[in-house]
Amino acid sequence: MENFSLNSAKSFIGKHVNLHLKDGTVIINVQLTGIRKSDLGKESLVEYVPYRSCKSSQIPLKRIAWAEMLNLTLLQTAD
């Protein structure tokens, strides 16, 4: 499996994914909103928003192992 790179991160922007991190944890059901450079300009940060939330978070790109695409039609329930 290849590393999660800047190009693969760009392909997931605007989509809902599970982010699998290199330490084995998973950040579930988030929408990737963008990629930006850190304040020091040395590393790329992936910005995401949890499902049904407006507060965004960010994580360094190098901490992400891979992303798993979600099918939201399976997750949606009647409100």
User: HEC string of 36-77?
Assistant: EECCCCCCEEEEEEECCCCCCEEEEHHHEEEEEECCHHHHCC
How many Å separate Cα 15 from the centre of its chain?
9
Predicted local confidence at residue 41, as pLDDT = 76
Q: Which of 68, 75, 65 has the alpha carbon at shortest distance from 23? A: 65
Predicted local confidence at residue 76, as pLDDT = 59
Mean pLDDT per block of 10 residues along the chain (79 residues) reads 81 94 94 90 91 90 93 61
Predicted local confidence at residue 78, as pLDDT = 46
Predicted TM-score (pTM) of this structure: 0.82
Q: How far apart are the first and last CA of the chain?
A: 39
